[in-house]
């Protein structure tokens, strides 16, 4: 695909519309399309999952977070694109740098949140430029997208641990008599209404983009461009294009909405129709973050199934003479899909060998799939969707018998970071930003840092990335019964290492008002890369116990696979 030509076509469209600049997001539509190309990739070549851009007739700026800086530089044309670091350069800063008095800025109303729209509006009044909200973004017109033909299904109460009716009532209980809630977060809507796609989307999501209107009195309405093929009586199902007519035919109430995730398009319709809007003070998101007993049991099961697939894949990798990154990714997927409860992968598997391990979100299928031959460092970051759970985990191994000493030092300190985080006890309701630092201490002591978060929440047969965010900038808090990841790492120019486990928060045995972690997945760490002198005795005890449990759980489940059994036994030996 000629990315520069696509950018040229966008600029031609700007001239036709008399627009000086336009914002471009990952996806400028709210529809459920199964497309391989994000809007940003279509015009730049950048294939990462997080970015924001502004394009004028003369300038093109792409802002990405620290995970993608190297990737963005490598994938874009340096003569055209200026790469910036997010959040230092966010959407508002890009606009300030590009727009001048009297200019017109095109804004995709379905891709810009209401909060961002209000910030742009305030900035426009200060700098003297005009805003043109666009329901249909020019990039979407150029991409000629094929609509998804999948449908929607409903989760079983057996998998949810609670009825849809009960979850709707929990939201209604937070509302006053003359209030309603407009929800736009697909994670939240999927949790409340049990809505799932009948097939995974291209980005491996089981969730669908939807809008939900929940009045204090009366039946909620869910708006989507996909058809629900399931009988239910707890809510109305409508198409996106019915939203405005629906709003115009109901009682005018005060609508609570989250300015941070509601597309400006829907908020502007509410305003035009005479509804009073107020920022939601309701913590609806906390409902899906706190897992019930059924969800916890299901997530543990999914973590075990994924761990087994990891063990089979890594043992195959280390015992085959020649393979490739894409073949290993496919091998892992095949092992996952052997289970009757598997739906598919929860994201595109990161299967990276040697220097490709230095790219945080490396995609072997886009990059061609490096041949895996001889000695070298290998990173596998993968996860799966099952009918009742979702998983995400990472391991690094070394093919060969004599890894460089530098590899051992870095690997051991990343593992030390994971252990320190996993064994921490801290007060209930602590800020995730504070807990984030626990994992960074060994890495800071080595003189490194990582430009991404330490972890994230994991949904149940839902979004593999959900709140809380464990990062230095997170405003989230940690309570009991949350499932999240811990994934510290060190990345250098020619290699990178990251280790990731899934954890459950639970009351601490030391203090009932404190929180502790239970580890959910069991995959051996690479024994060849562990330097014992870097660890405290208590950390070695944790590691040996972890490996003892791993061997106990999986040795009998490997059947007659002698290669996997030998690999498991070797990598779980006491240190």
Q: Give the torsion sign (CA, 415, 420, 421, 423).
A: positive
Residue 61 CA to residue 394 CA, distance in Å, equals 32
**Which of 210, 271, 196, 202 has its CA nearest to residue 238?**
210
> Which of 64, 76, 7 is CA-nearest to residue 39?
7
pLDDT digits (tens, 9 = 90+) for 37-59: 899 999 999 999 899 999 999 99
Asked whether the beta carbons of 441 and 418 are under 8 A apart, the reply is no
Structure tokens at 387: 């009918």
Average pLDDT over the chain, rounded to whole?
95
Task: Please state whether beta strands 483-486 and 501-507 pair in parallel, antiparallel, or not at all (unpaired).
Answer: antiparallel
Give me the residue spans of the domains in the chain. 3-143, 152-286, 290-571
CB within 8 A of 230, min separation 6: which ones? 152, 153, 154
Beta strands in 307-365 (DSSP E): 322-324, 342-345, 350-353
pLDDT of residue 287: 86
Helix, strand, or coil (residue 413): helix
pLDDT tens, residue by residue, 266-317: 999 999 999 999 998 666 667 889 999 999 999 999 999 999 999 999 999 9
Cα 543 to its chain centre, rounded Å, is 28
Q: What is the Cα Rg of the chain in Å?
A: 24
CA 35 to chain centre: 17
Structure tokens belonging to residue 313: 């894949």
pTM of the model: 0.88
CA distances from 232 to 154, 155, 159, 388, 438 (A): 9, 11, 17, 20, 46
Q: What digits encode the pLDDT tens for the residues 223-277? A: 999 999 988 999 999 999 999 999 999 999 999 999 999 999 999 999 999 999 9
Q: What is the pLDDT of residue 143?
A: 86
d(CA 556, CA 400): 27
Strands (E), 432-570: 455-457, 466-470, 477-478, 483-486, 489-491, 496-498, 501-507, 514-519
Distance between CA 468 and CA 446 in Å, rounded? 27
Least confident of 89-98, 187-196, 280-289, 539-548: 280-289
| Terminal-residue alpha carbon distance, the chain | 51
For residue 502, pLDDT beyond 70 = yes
Helix (H) or strand (E) holding 106: strand 104-108
- CB atoms near residue 237 (< 10 Å): 17
Asked if the model's pLDDT at residue 146 lies above 80, the reply is: no
DSSP-assigned letters across all residues of 414-447: HHHHHHHHHT--EETTEEHHHHHHHHHHHHHHTT
User: What is the C-alpha separation between 515 and 507, in angstroms, rounded?
Assistant: 5
Q: Mind listing the pLDDT tens digit for each residue in 117-135?
A: 999 999 999 999 999 999 9
Residue 206 contacts by C-beta under 8 Å, 6 or more apart in sequence? 190, 196, 197, 200, 343, 385, 390, 461, 462
Contacts of 312 (CB under 8 A, 6+ apart): 335, 558, 561, 564
Taking only the tens place, the pLDDT of each residue in 374-393 is 999 999 999 999 999 999 99
CATH class as words, domain 3-143: alpha beta
Overall fold of domain 290-571: Creatine Amidinohydrolase (3.90.230)
Q: DSSP letters along 23-77, please? A: EE-S-S--S-B--S--HHHHHH----S--EEEEESS-EEEEE-TTSHHHHHHHS-
Number of residues that make up the chain: 575
**DSSP assigned state of 544:** H
- Confirm whether 152-286 and 290-571 share one CATH topology: no
Task: Decide if pLDDT at 445 tops 90.
Answer: yes
Q: Which two tokens stand for residue 66?
A: 């620290």
Percent of the chain, pLDDT > 90?
Answer: 91
> pLDDT tens for residues 156-169?
898 999 999 999 99
Please, which pLDDT band fits residue 34 given cuts at 50, 70 and 90?
confident
d(CA 207, CA 412): 37
Q: Collect all residues with Cβ–Cβ distance below 8 Å to 556 and sequence separation of at least 6.
A: none
Give me the phi and psi of 416, to 5 degrees please. Answer: -60, -40
3-state secondary structure 138-171: HHHHHHCCCECCCCEEECCHHHHCCCHHHHHHHH
* Protein fold of 152-286: Creatine Amidinohydrolase; Chain A, domain 1 (3.40.350)
Amino acid 141: pLDDT:
86
Residues sharing a CB contact under 8 Å with residue 431, sequence separation 6 or more, in sequence order: 474, 475, 476, 477, 478
């Amino acid at each position: 695909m000629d990315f520069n030509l696509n950018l040229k076509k966008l600029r031609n469209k700007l001239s036709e519309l008399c627009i000086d600049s336009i914002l471009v997001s990952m996806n400028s539509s709210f529809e459920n399309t199964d497309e391989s190309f994000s809007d940003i990739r279509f015009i730049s070549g950048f294939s990462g999952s997080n970015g924001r851009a502004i394009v004028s007739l003369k300038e093109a700026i792409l802002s990405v977070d620290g995970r993608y800086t190297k990737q963005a530089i490598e994938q874009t044309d340096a003569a055209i694109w200026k790469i910036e670091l997010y959040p230092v350069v966010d959407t508002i800063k890009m606009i300030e740098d590009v727009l001048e008095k009297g200019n017109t800025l095109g804004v995709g109303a379905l891709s810009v949140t209401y909060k961002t729209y209000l910030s742009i509006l305030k900035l426009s009044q200060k700098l003297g430029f005009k805003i043109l909200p666009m329901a249909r973004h020019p990039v979407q017109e150029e991409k000629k997208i094929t609509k998804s033909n999948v449908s929607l299904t409903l989760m079983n109460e057996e998998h949810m641990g609670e009825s849809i009716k009960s979850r709707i009532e929990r939201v209604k209980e937070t509302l006053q008599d003359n209030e309603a809630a407009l929800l736009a977060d697909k994670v939240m809507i999927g949790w409340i209404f049990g809505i799932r796609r009948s097939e995974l989307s291209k980005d491996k999501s089981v969730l669908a983009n939807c809008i939900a209107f929940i009045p204090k009195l009366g039946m909620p309405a869910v708006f989507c461009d996909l058809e629900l093929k399931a009988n239910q009586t707890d809510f109305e199902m409508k198409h996106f294009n019915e939203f405005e007519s629906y709003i115009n035919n109901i009682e005018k109430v005060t609508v609570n909405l989250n300015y941070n995730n509601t597309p400006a398009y829907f908020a502007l319709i509410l305003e035009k129709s005479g509804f009073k809007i107020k920022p939601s003070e309701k913590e609806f998101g906390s409902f899906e973050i706190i897992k019930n007993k059924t969800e916890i049991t299901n997530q543990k099961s999914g973590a075990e199934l994924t761990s087994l697939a990891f063990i089979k894949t890594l043992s195959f990798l280390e015992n085959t003479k020649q393979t490739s990154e894409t073949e290993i990714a496919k091998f892992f997927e095949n092992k996952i899909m052997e289970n009757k409860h598997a739906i598919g992968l929860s994201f595109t598997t990161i299967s990276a060998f040697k220097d490709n391990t230095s790219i945080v979100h490396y995609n072997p299928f886009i990059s061609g799939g490096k041949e895996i031959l001889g000695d070298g460092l290998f990173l596998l970051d993968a996860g799966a969707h099952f009918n009742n759970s979702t998983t995400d985990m990472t391991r690094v191994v070394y093919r060969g018998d004599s890894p460089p000493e530098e590899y051992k030092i870095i690997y051991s300190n990343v593992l030390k970071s994971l252990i320190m985080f996993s064994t921490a006890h801290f007060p209930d309701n602590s800020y995730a930003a504070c807990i984030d630092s626990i994992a960074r201490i060994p890495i800071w002591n080595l003189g490194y840092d990582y430009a991404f978060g330490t972890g994230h929440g994991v949904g149940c047969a839902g979004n593999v990335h959900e709140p809380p965010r464990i990062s230095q900038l997170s405003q989230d808090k940690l309570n009991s019964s949350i499932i999240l990841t811990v994934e510290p790492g060190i990345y250098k120019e020619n290699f990178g290492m990251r280790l990731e486990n899934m954890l459950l928060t639970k009351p601490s045995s030391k203090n009932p008002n404190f929180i502790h972690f239970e580890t959910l997945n069991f995959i051996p760490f690479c024994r060849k890369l562990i330097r014992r002198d870097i660890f405290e005795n208590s950390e070695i005890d944790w590691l040996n116990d972890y490996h003892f449990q791993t061997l106990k759980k999986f040795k009998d489940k490997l059947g007659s696979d002698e290669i996997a059994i030998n690999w498991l036994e070797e990598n779980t030996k006491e240190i």
